[in-house]
């Protein structure tokens, strides 16, 4: 088997790590929390680094008017399906395809990756910019 076919099979299989490891992690440090708060975002769920971290983050977010971190988001059902399909397609293309199929898979995967990052950006932007004007701590630009 050619080296390119082996790499084309191994590459998509490495994406299965997304089902094990977090995509993103946030750690919040503050004097009132001797142990920093942490939140992991996996491909299909949010998880606390320590027990009750999400609850405590939501309490802090409440003071500045941020939305609560939801239990689930629509992406948690979409991303695993898309990744699963792309892994299967990548392995099949690695076994039966040629360099044109390899390139097509790479282009589609790149577009999906960019779309996923853009979706995450939009979600984070909305989460951090649409604050409740009636929040306990209200940040206003004096200008």
* Predicted model pTM: 0.83
In sequence order, what are the residues at sequence separation of 6 or more whose Cβ sits closer than 8 angstroms to the Cβ of residue 66? Answer: 127, 128, 131, 132
pLDDT confidence band for 34 (50 / 70 / 90): confident
Give residue 107's pLDDT: 97
Mean pLDDT over 82-99 rounds to 95
Give residue 139's pLDDT: 67
Give residue 33's pLDDT: 78
Mean pLDDT over 40-59 rounds to 93
Mean pLDDT over 4-19 rounds to 94
Is residue 102 scored above 90 in pLDDT?
yes
Is residue 143 scored above 80 in pLDDT?
no
Whole-number mean pLDDT of the chain? 91
């Amino acid at each position: 088997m050619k080296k390119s076919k082996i790499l084309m099979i191994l590459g998509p299989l490495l994406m299965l790590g997304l089902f094990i490891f977090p995509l993103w992690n946030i750690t919040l440090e503050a004097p009132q929390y001797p142990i920093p708060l942490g939140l992991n975002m996996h491909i299909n769920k949010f998880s606390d680094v320590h027990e009750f971290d999400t609850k405590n983050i939501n309490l802090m977010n409440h003071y500045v008017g941020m939305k609560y971190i939801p239990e689930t988001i629509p992406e948690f059902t979409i991303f695993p399906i898309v990744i699963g399909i792309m892994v299967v397609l990548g392995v099949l293309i690695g076994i039966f395809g040629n360099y044109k199929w390899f390139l097509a898979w790479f282009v589609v995967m790149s577009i999906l990756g960019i779309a996923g990052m853009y979706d995450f950006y939009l979600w984070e932007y909305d989460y951090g910019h649409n604050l409740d004007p009636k929040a306990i701590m209200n940040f206003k630009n004096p200008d």
